[in-house]
Amino acid sequence: MVFVRHILPPTILAALFLGGWEGYVAASGASPLILPAPSDVMNGIMVERAQIARHAAATIRVAAIGFGLSVAFAFLVSVALHFAGWLRRGVMPLLIASQTVPIVALAPLMVLWFGFGLLPKVLLVILVTFFPMVVSLTAGYATLPRAFRDQLVSMGAGGWTVFRRATLPSARGHFFAGLRISATYAIVATIFSEYAGARQGLGIYILTAKNNFRADLVLSAVFVSALLTLGLLGLIQILDRATGRRYRRQTHA
Amino acid sequence: MLEIDSLTIRAGDRLLVDDLSLTLQAGQLTCLIGPSGCGKSSVVKWLAGVLADELRVKGRAGLDGAPLVPPHARIAYQPQQDTLFPWLTILENASLGLEVRSARKAAAHDRLRSMFPVFGLQGHEDSFPDQLSGGMRQRAAFLRTMVQDAGLLLLDEPFSALDAVTRLRMQDWLVARLDENPRAVLMVTHDLFEATQIADRVLVMAAAPGRITADLPITTPRRDRTEANLAETRSRLKSMLLKDTE
């Protein structure tokens, strides 16, 4: 019973939480300027749907471009690091050290350097999502059993053949794990970059709503951005399922 | 067909294999037997071209009179661990060696399909390794090794992961396959029962440093290899192995 075991418990908890919230707002008479009820938030989404959709589309565009470029770039870098040991030994410690920088705090700097266009936002998304991808891929490559490599080498395979036929397939699980982590950061990073300066996007929508004391619209946009991240994770899940029936055996074997 | 001339393998200051020389005849099954850590796997890995880079090697090998630079197309290697790739079907796994050696995939698959019944794998072409029993996986690994058309097979403890009954069956099975299609085989094992059961010749290795201490032909025909007929050979081998590990 998948439904009873896995779907019912979070549904009940979420319903209790939302019901409690709604009840508290009604009972306490809290100002909707400070704490709007869930129904107010839903109402906000309905009334403002055209606006929110327009801003969400801008956010999706930035996140998609940034995340796509980040994944491609991370893959190329991971392959380079895999084949050049000295490069890996040089770059990895620096890459890890770079993670102590709160990258979202660089958002204002990006605007200062690159203006209000697409570039600073895409750059920020890349900066935030790049690192988990590289680390996951590099860790994935390292899981290749020595015997698999030996088997191919004894057949006369060169470095690239070993990589293509064994290293890359065995890193697949790590790749998708990294993809999921990066995906959750992608929307967050986009919204942050829009805070720092944008004409369109959920970030700037939230900022404007806050300045107008519309807590309900702030929460509406937050809700929609959570949906965007869930949607992205769903797409990754579909991609994983559609392409990898045979690869999931690794974990069961 | 294969000659090894004074092979020495070192790991740092430690001597793993010391001045080892041997000659293998075509069509003969030779077992290399010895205690753990005597360097028998290292010899086989060196011939397969997969010895760890940090080990230092001196010595030469020749294949049919020509100097051997491993890995070589006429030598097929089967590592100790089961190396069927879990994301490939049995057919794809079996075809790996042919494809790496630049055979066309379709041609390799056609050729392999006809071999599946002989290897007891008919109907499992599109199965994945985790759907097969231990013995079947091992037969699939043998199929991948044997289809490579190498004159020399290097087998590193091929039966060590199998249960006792499957192991006995697989020993007979391997001998039958080699009768159909004779090749030189160098098989590493630590099991003297297994070695005397299937080998034409047993080489005994001693440890620290690894060297060959005895070269024993098993002349009893395979059909006559009963407990009673092999008792004397086995007890000789046993005392050699025990003496070496004292």
Contact B209, B9 (CB under 8 A): no
Contact B241, B192 (CB under 8 A): yes
Residue A14 lies in a domain: no
Q: Is A153 on the interface with B (CB under 8 A)?
A: yes
d(CA B94, CA B110): 12
Write down how long chain A is.
253
Q: Cis peptide leading into B35, omega within 30 of 0?
A: no
Q: Is A245 on the interface with B (CB under 8 A)?
A: no
| B49 to A166: CB separation less than 8 angstroms, yes or no | no
Interface confidence, given as ipTM, is 0.88
pLDDT in tens, chain B (246 residues): 888 887 788 888 888 878 888 888 888 899 998 877 788 888 889 988 888 888 888 888 888 888 888 888 888 999 888 789 999 999 999 999 999 987 788 989 998 998 898 888 989 999 999 999 888 898 899 899 988 888 899 999 888 878 888 888 888 888 888 888 888 999 998 888 888 888 888 888 877 788 777 788 877 787 777 777 777 778 888 887 787 655
Which residues have C-beta within 8 Å of that of residue B235, sequence separation ≥ 6? none
Dihedral sign of CA atoms A72, A142, A87, A151 in order:
negative
| A154 to B129: CB separation less than 8 angstroms, yes or no | no
Could you give the number of structural domains in chain A? 1
| B130 to A249: CB separation less than 8 angstroms, yes or no | yes
Tokens representing residue B217 in the block = 């032909």
| B88 to A156: CB separation less than 8 angstroms, yes or no | no
B50: which chain A residues are within 8 Å (Cβ-Cβ)?
Answer: 149-150, 153-154
CATH number of the domain at B1-69+189-246, please?
3.40.50.300
Quote the domain boundaries for residue A223: 38-252
Alpha-carbon distance B58 to nearest alpha carbon in chain A (angstroms): 20
d(CA A35, CA A28): 11
Residue A13 lies in a domain: no
Q: Kindly identify which residue of chain B lies nearest to residue A173, measuring between CA atoms.
A: B87
User: Helices (H) and strands (E) in chain A — how many of each?
Assistant: 14, 0
| B100 to A157: CB separation less than 8 angstroms, yes or no | yes
CATH number of the domain bearing residue A232: 1.10.3720.10
Residue type, B165: V
Burial class of residue B203 (count of CB atoms within 10 Å of its CB; 0-12, 13-18, 19+)? buried
Tokens representing residue B33 in the block = 């037997």
| Alpha-carbon dihedral B133, A244, A141, A79, rounded to 10 degrees | 150
Distance of CA B185 to the CA centre of its chain: 6
d(CA B145, CA B155): 9
* Nearest alpha-carbon partner for A169 in A157, A161, A179, A180: A161
Rounded alpha-carbon distances, angstroms, from residue B29 to A9, B151, B153: 63, 12, 9
Residue A225 lies in a domain: yes
| A253 to B49: CB separation less than 8 angstroms, yes or no | no
Rounded alpha-carbon distances, angstroms, from residue B132 to A250, B19, B120, B126, B136: 14, 42, 12, 11, 6
Q: What is the largest CA-CA distance in chain B?
A: 54
Count CB pairs under 8 A between chains A and B.
72
Alpha-carbon distance A157 to nearest alpha carbon in chain B (angstroms): 6
Nearest Cβ partner of A154 from B77, B85, B130?
B77
Q: Where do the structural domains in chain B lie, given as residue ranges?
A: 1-69+189-246
| A249 to B85: CB separation less than 8 angstroms, yes or no | no
Tokens representing residue B10 in the block = 């070192």
Q: Is B69 on the interface with A (CB under 8 A)?
A: no
Q: What is the pLDDT of residues A44-87, one digit of tens each?
A: 999 999 999 999 999 999 999 999 999 999 999 999 999 998 99
| A250 to B87: CB separation less than 8 angstroms, yes or no | yes
Q: Is A249 on the interface with B (CB under 8 A)?
A: yes
Alpha-carbon distance B205 to nearest alpha carbon in chain A (angstroms): 24
